[in-house]
Structures are given as C-alpha cells and as structure tokens.
Amino acid sequence: MNFIVISVKKYFFTILFILFTISLVLFSNNNLIAAQDGLALWATKVLPSLFPFFIATELLCQTNFTYILGKLLNKFMKPIFNVPGESSAAIILGTISGYPIGAKIVCNLKEQKVISKIEAERLIAYTNNSGPLFILGTVGIALFGDKKIGFILLFSHIIASIAVGYLFSFWKKDKFDINYRETKFNSKLSPIKVSDIGEILGNSIKKSISSILAIGGFIVLFSVILSILENSGILNIISSFLYTFGIPKDVSISIITGIIELTNGVNLSSSLYQTLPSFSLLLSSFLLGFGGISVLLQVYSIIAKEKISIKPYFYGKLLQGLFSALITFILI
C-alpha cells in the first residue's frame, strides 16, 4: 500500500495528464463545443478589452508615468502598503483594467528594479482584480439585471482589495531582499524621442501578444476541463456528496464551477438569485474576489519568469474573497 501511495505521488501529474488526454477522446464532441465557446469568449470579449490595456501598460512603463505617481503618492503608499510610490500604478491600473493587468504591471516594475521581490509579493496579493466594466456591466446588468447589485459588488471588491493590501504590508516586513540593489532605483526615464517610438511600440505589441495568447489558452483549456467534469459525472458526484451535508446540488455546482473558472461560476451563481438572493450575492462577491483557479494559473504564467512566489497571491485572493463577501453581507 505504501508503495502504491508513493508511486501515485511521484507520477501524479503524469497520471493526471494521461486521464485528461483520454477524456479528450471520450468526450470529443462536447469538448469541441466547449473549446469553441471558450475561443469565442476570448476572441469577442477578452481580446478586445484586455489587449489594448496590455499595450497601454507596456507603453506607460517606458515613460515617466510610474515616476510621477511615485512622487505624488509615495507618502501614502509606504506607510499604508509598505511599497514604493511607483507601485501605485499597479494598484490603479490593476483595479481599472481587470485580470490580469495588475500582475503584468507588477512584473514590469520588478523587471525594471523599481521594486524588490518581496515588494512584488506584497503587491501581487491585491493588485490583480476584476475590472469595473466586468462587475457593473457583465455581472450587475447582464447577469443580475440590476445596476445597484453591480455597484454593491464593485464597492465590496475594491474595499476588500484595500484591506488585503494593508494586511500584506506586514508580509516579510523584517526581511530584506539581498538580490535587490540597496541603492534606490531612479525610475525617472529619459524623454521618449520620435525615433524610438517604432521600436517601443513594436516591443510593446510583441509582449502583449504573448500575454494575451497565454490568457486565451487558459480560457479554452478550462472550458474543456469544465466540460469533461460535467460529462464524466464528476461534478454530479461531488454535488451529490455535498448534498448529504444539506447543500443543494445547484448551489454546490455553482461553488465548484466558480472556484475552477470565474465567469461560468458567477453565471451559475446569478441564476440562484430568484430562490436564494442573499446567498447568490455573497457567493458572487466571493468568487469575484477570489478569481478562480483559471485566473490563478494565468497570473502564475506571468509572474513565474520573474520568480515571484504564487503563495501570497493565493492567500491574498482567498482573503479578498472572504472580505468581499463579508462587506456585501453588511451592505445588504
């Protein structure tokens, strides 16, 4: 028995990938539809909304934008969040733009040595958020049919993010990153010349294409994974097990789906609004704060090259989800 357990641990991912490949063949028809839906979602919703923001953030990082913000906001950022003022760019744009712009900006700041690795870990925990357009438009108006609900969820989301940011100001507070230059980095860049615009724009587009393609891959992949879980009966098995603890099947499926993939989870959660209005709002608020495993892996694919730990992101998003649900509960 010990031998079997050790073997399973050792070859866990190999076994998992084999099962995934077999499932692709067994449920090929449904998987094809799910992949097409995921690709359509990426091409029609994600690509048009995120790609321009990726380019814009890459361009802004080549200017004195972070330097100007750093000068203006350093006296607030350092005592509250324990990060340099330049980090405010990640907070502001990460909140306005939505997933995963915040992670992208944090990596840019780390790459340019504006922030240390420890400061990047603090920032990554709360700068990667659902965008206002998604919460107000898609969730509030399209799914719940009420703009007031969208504002409640957005307010809870932002306040929870700020609360997590303050808590993570204590993350490794007594430690110093020995690989980070002790001399303060001068983030003030030379003015951009007309002759440099072509090169800067080209590099920004290349980096943005790489990021947006990775996001598209994750969306398609997790659409297929959800299809496999549904058609293989695994979702029903888990929901039936949870039903023995008094959790209705439609509720458990909404929770499981949302933890795996945000958009589908919030969609199912909103469908519970007529029968379980308070629970529907609280679950949606939690899922928007947490983001789901799909977004977590998208962020991980971005931050891995800068060797930023994923742990503070996971802890931060879990806390943000809980705080957001608590704030929503108080508001309603």
| Spans of all domains in the chain | 23-177+187-331
> What is the Cα–Cα distance from 69 to 84, expressed in whole angstroms?
10
pLDDT of residue 264 exceeding 90: no
Contact between residue 89 and residue 60 where contact means Cβ atoms under 8 Å apart = yes
Q: Is 90 exposed, middle or buried (0-12, 13-18, 19+ CB in 10 A)?
A: buried
State yes or no: pLDDT of 100 exceeds 90. Answer: no
CA neighbours within 13 Å on the CB side: how many for 130? 35
- Using the structure block, give the residue that is written with the tokens 């000068």: 71
The residues, any chain, with a CB within 8 Å of residue 205's CB and separated by 6 or more, are 55
Q: Are 30 and 227 in contact (CB under 8 A)?
A: yes
| pLDDT for residue 182 | 45
- Enumerate the H helices of the chain as residue ranges: 2-10, 12-26, 28-41, 47-60, 65-81, 88-97, 101-111, 117-124, 132-133, 147-167, 197-231, 234-243, 249-260, 262-270, 277-290, 292-303, 311-331
CB-count burial class (<10 Å; 0-12, 13-18, 19+) for 295: buried
Q: Which of 7-11, 23-27, 115-119 has the lowest mean pLDDT?
A: 7-11
User: What would the mean pLDDT of 85-96 be, rounded to a whole number?
Assistant: 82
φ/ψ (deg, to 5) at 19: -65, -40
Count the Cβ atoms, other than its own, within 10 Å of residue 213. Answer: 12
**Measured distance between the N- and C-terminal CA atoms of the chain, rounded to whole angstroms:** 52
Cα pseudo-dihedral 252, 139, 260, 279, rounded to 10: -30
Q: Considering only 60-69, 132-141, 158-167, which range has the smallest mean pLDDT?
A: 60-69
The reported pTM is: 0.81
| Alpha-carbon distance values, 57 to 22, 65, 94, 212 (Å) | 40, 10, 10, 13
Instruction: Residue count of the chain, please give it.
Output: 332
Rounded-to-integer distance, Cα 305 and Cα 159, Å:
30
> Which of 52-61, 117-126, 253-262, 317-326 shows the lowest per-residue confidence on average (mean pLDDT)?
52-61
Q: Average of pLDDT values for 62-70?
A: 73
- The mean pLDDT of the chain is 83
CA 129 – CA 109 distance, rounded (Å): 18
Mean pLDDT of 119-147: 87
Banded pLDDT at 160 (limits 50, 70, 90):
very high
The secondary structure of residue 115, as a DSSP letter, is S
- Would the pLDDT of 184 be above 60? no
Which residues fall within 8 angstroms of residue 9, CB to CB, at 6 or more apart? Answer: none
Confidence of residue 46 (pLDDT cuts 50, 70, 90): confident
User: Which carries the bigger pLDDT value, residue 152 or residue 84?
Assistant: 152
